Amino acid sequence: MFTSTTVSFAHGALEGDGIVLRIEASVEGAVVVVDATPFHPVDHTWPDQPGDSGTISVDGSSAVVTEAVMAASSEGGEFAVGSDIPVKRGAEGWTWLVGHRLDGQAPEWLAQGAAVSLAVDAEKRAGLSRGHTACHLASLALDLAVADLWRKDPGVDALGNPDFEGRANQSSRIHENGAVDEYRLGKSLRKAGFDTETFAATLSDRERAINEQLAAWVADGSASTIVTQGPTIVDRRSWRCELPEGTAEILCGGTHVRSLSEFASITVNLDLSDPQLLVMTTSAVPAG
């Protein structure tokens, strides 16, 4: 049984070397598992950030990696990829792996035991990192902008404000230089003490407050880092940002910028076309 894949993306790595441990054929493209990789995989339980793409090479011959994915193998020999994984992360008797899905089946020169070089698409990674950091900042600014609308204590976010994000978010999708988050404003949220009527009536004011806060944070240029508890894909990771209001730390397996000075701006648009569903679209402009 393999050990869990060692990953280096948390420290910003874009290149690395590894040994091929397994190759699984698939109609969607072969999945190559190596012992160590700089590729960030899409999470199979909360697929907010897409997996990295890039290349895997041996002695000058290269194959295209369309996306890095989560994989897992059991002590009994079962191997599963992505949403087909039948157990929760960390389940006893399973090893957690990063799979590299190829554009087609594996060429002859790529075989088990081969020493390979791995290279991540740097431009895509940078865009996704900006998108993910901007997404977290937008959620913190949203929590702050609606803090006065709670009649009960919903718990607190990473900055100590009422946790609207944690209570209402039902989906998050990161893309290059942005994100789209959806929040359910239904009966359960009203029972939890959130004033949805006042929120709807003051939507433009809330949006303006969020964008003013984001502009202030970008101007401050705070440090942004990933904190890891170990070197493997299964070890816990979190995003930490030293904001003027305090240090925010959020459990997160994605990639992030190293400083908010990497942004020229971050802005959001709030859409409440459906009164039961808030859609927050976050857009980031990279610094020149």
Q: State the Cα–Cα distance between residues 227 and 240, nearest whole angstrom.
A: 7
Q: Domain check: are 21 and 98 in the same one?
A: yes
Among 68, 99, 120, residue at a domain's last position: 120
How high is the pLDDT of residue 1?
A: 58
Q: What is the number of domains present in the chain?
A: 2
Can you give the CATH number for the domain in which 31 is found?
2.40.30.130
Domain boundary among 120, 143, 170: 120
Is residue 17, in this structure, part of any structural domain at all? yes
Q: Mark whether 209 and 266 lie in a shared domain.
A: yes
Same domain assignment for residues 89 and 135: no
Any domain includes 1: no
Q: 258 and 165 share a domain?
A: yes
Alpha helices in 146-248 (DSSP H): 164-168, 187-191, 196-201, 203-220
Residues 84 and 172 in one domain: no
Asked whether the predicted pLDDT for residue 212 surpasses 70, the reply is: yes
Among the listed residues 107, 86, 89, 106, the one whose alpha carbon sits nearest the alpha carbon of residue 98: 89
How do residues 110-168 score in pLDDT, each as one tens digit?
999 999 999 999 999 999 999 999 999 999 999 999 999 999 999 999 999 999 999 99
Which domain does 82 fall in, by range? 6-120
Q: What is the mean pLDDT of the chain?
A: 96
pLDDT tens profile 155-206? 999 999 999 999 999 999 999 999 999 999 999 999 999 999 999 999 999 9
Q: How many whole angstroms separate alpha carbon 111 and alpha carbon 44?
A: 26
Q: How much is the pLDDT for 91?
A: 86
Average pLDDT over residues 269-284: 98
What tens digit of pLDDT does each residue of 213-241 get?
999 999 999 999 999 999 999 999 999 99
77 and 220 inside one domain: no
* 128 & 86 share domain: no
Residue 234 pLDDT: 93
Whether 173 is covered by a domain: the verdict is yes
pLDDT grade for 89, boundaries at 50, 70 and 90: confident
Q: Domain check: are 112 and 69 in the same one? A: yes
